[in-house]
Amino acid sequence: MQRVPLLFGTRLTVAEAPDDAVVLRPPPPGEPVADVRAAVRDALRFPLAGDPLEALVTRGGRATIVVEPPALPLPGGVHDPRQDALSAASAELERAGVPTERQTLLVATGLTRRPQTRELEELGVVSPGFARRFHGTVEIHDAEDPDLVELEPAGRTPLRVNRALLETDLVLAVSAAETIVHGGPAMLLGCGGPEAMRAATAYSLLETGASQGWRLAVELEQRLARRVPLVGASLVLDQPRLSGAARGYPYDPEAGERIARSPFRLGFGLLPGFARNRVIHSIRRDLSATAAFAGPPPVAHAEALLRAVEARSATLEGRLDAIVIGIPRTTPHLPRERPNPLLAAYLALGLALRLWREAFPVVEGGTVILLHRFHRHFAHPTQQPYREIFHALRTGPREPEELMDAERAALADARAIAAYRAGRSCHPLLPFADWAGCAPALGRVGTVIVAGCRDAVAARQLGFVPARGLPAALELAHGMAGGQARVGYLLSPPYFPLRVTQ
């Protein structure tokens, strides 16, 4: 019998898994680069393709650096290497003849809440040192800005972008390769209009072939490249390293056994929720980079993503009948908050179950078990738009076409748009984009069971089956498989890539 510790909100549950169960854990962290700034500097001087940064810069001209809030990986680190990459990129521009006074830092927030400039340091976008040294313009993208510049549409999808991407002599995108719709050319979509961002879907977050989001991002990059030079720098991030009592989790089997047998686990469970959450966040998390690449944004990002997947993926031999996924008490977007049921579902179905290559990890008609209480709690006012989609789902789950009226109504809600533009809430389209991100998994599995559910109505509104605990959920999964199901336990967070062989 295997003892598998799984995060269940702010609680820690230990599953008693049979010896033939599949425990999915990532490989251990690799060897980090000693100096991220030097690695980025060298990458910009010797790119994978195209001219080096110095040849693209107009001396004395203007440059726009595009970054995004470091929402992934989850959890992040105390210090994010993307901060060092940004500092190195700005310094290289300055060395090439573009002083910081003529640099614009454009934060690609997409449809998420627009932070204030003073929050960028707190969210980990910039380091304190960079914030003190940078004397240029800081712009937080506004997807509803009436001054967005119209470009040639991609099919029926209109493409509009922030003026800072065109009223410049160079665009430099600095990111880490986490998925095909996070970082790289996708950041340019995150500096555009809501129509393209809403259309940026992906069947797998690691494969470009069936990704509308990747296609739109590349098409937008090509349109911009005709008007202004573009270059990208992409980091390969390593597995986050946890310290203290969680040292070695989730990649070290001995760490899981140590946590499962710890006498402090029971005491931890007796703490109130806010205290457990504080203890979890007090665990030190170190994040490092293993490589840096530069070149045209799609080229640099694709190479970095391939390296990241190769280094961080777990191999799954054959697909599973059922998979158990622990869901932490956090959101996939910044700022981190307590998740509502739809965001909890997105963490498992839209993020964890889209990090695959070769094949979907669960058989057709299989079962997904989510460990979450599913309380209908909506952080106010930041998660107010999620109430609207729950209202639209009040009679139960609907087909995507049936939610179109609700989506159009949300987009026409002047108060919701004003709250987004003021930085009080996310864009009203974000809940619909998150729910669409769950669709690839929901279209493949037969049943989603919420183990430990305390709000059966909320689970049923999303089309899920509530269960009191993990044993009851596993019993349902075995019954749906017609006997003994092949069950996998995904050790997380952080969620990691799965390479599925058939």
DSSP string, 173-197: EEEE-SBTTBSTTHHHHTTB-HHHH
pTM assigned to the model: 0.95
Domain final residue pick, 176, 203, 237: 237
pLDDT the model gives residue 353: 97
Q: Are residues 151 and 8 in the same domain?
A: no
Query: Torsions phi, psi of 483, nearest 5?
Result: 150, -130
Task: Find, among 279, 335, 299, 329, the residue nearest to 114 by Cα.
Answer: 335
Q: Are residues 262 and 328 in the same domain?
A: yes
Q: Are residues 220 and 344 in the same domain?
A: no
248 located within any domain: no
At 149, the amino acid letter reads V
- Return the C-alpha torsion angle 399, 404, 406, 411, nearest 10: 150
Does residue 74 contact residue 115 with C-beta atoms inside 8 Å? no
Taking the C-alpha atoms of residue 326 and residue 106, their distance in angstroms, rounded to an integer, is: 35
pLDDT the model gives residue 400: 65
Q: Are residues 78 and 57 in the same domain?
A: yes
Token pair belonging to 343:
């965001």
Least confident span in 283-297, 399-413, 453-467: 399-413
Q: Is 174's pLDDT higher than 80?
A: yes
Total domains in the chain come to 2
Q: Are residues 20 and 44 in the same domain?
A: no
pLDDT the model gives residue 495: 92
Least confident span in 25-39, 263-277, 356-370, 426-440: 263-277
Domain that holds residue 175: 36-237
293 located within any domain: no
Domain final residue pick, 204, 237, 270: 237
Q: Are residues 73 and 21 in the same domain?
A: no
SS3 of residue 204 by DSSP: coil
Q: Are residues 108 and 208 in the same domain?
A: yes
pLDDT the model gives residue 15: 87
136 located within any domain: yes
pLDDT digits (tens, 9 = 90+) for 100-157: 999 999 999 999 999 999 999 999 999 999 999 999 999 999 999 999 999 999 999 9
Q: Is 35's pLDDT higher than 80?
A: yes
Q: Is 207's pLDDT higher than 80?
A: yes
Q: Are residues 153 and 67 in the same domain?
A: yes
pLDDT the model gives residue 414: 96
Whole-number average pLDDT of the chain: 93
Taking the C-alpha atoms of residue 114 and residue 393, their distance in angstroms, rounded to an integer, is: 27
Sheet harboring 447-451: ordered strands across?
A: 22-24, 487-490, 320-326, 362-371, 447-451, 465-467
Token pair belonging to 161:
């972008």
Query: Torsions phi, psi of 174, nearest 5?
Result: -120, 120
SS3 annotation, 241-264: EECHHHCCCCCCHHHHHHHHHCCH
> Rounded to whole angstroms, what are the CA distances from 212 to 142, 181, 196, 203, 215?
22, 10, 10, 9, 5
Q: Are residues 387 and 471 in the same domain?
A: yes
Domain final residue pick, 206, 237, 268: 237
Half-sphere exposure of 483 (CA within 13 A, CB side): 0
Does residue 253 contact residue 316 with C-beta atoms inside 8 Å? no
Q: Are residues 48 and 18 in the same domain?
A: no
Q: What is the DSSP letter of 210?
A: T
470 located within any domain: yes
Q: Is 397's pLDDT higher than 70?
A: no
Residue 188: give its domain's CATH number. Answer: 3.40.50.11440
Q: Are residues 67 and 8 in the same domain?
A: no
333 located within any domain: yes
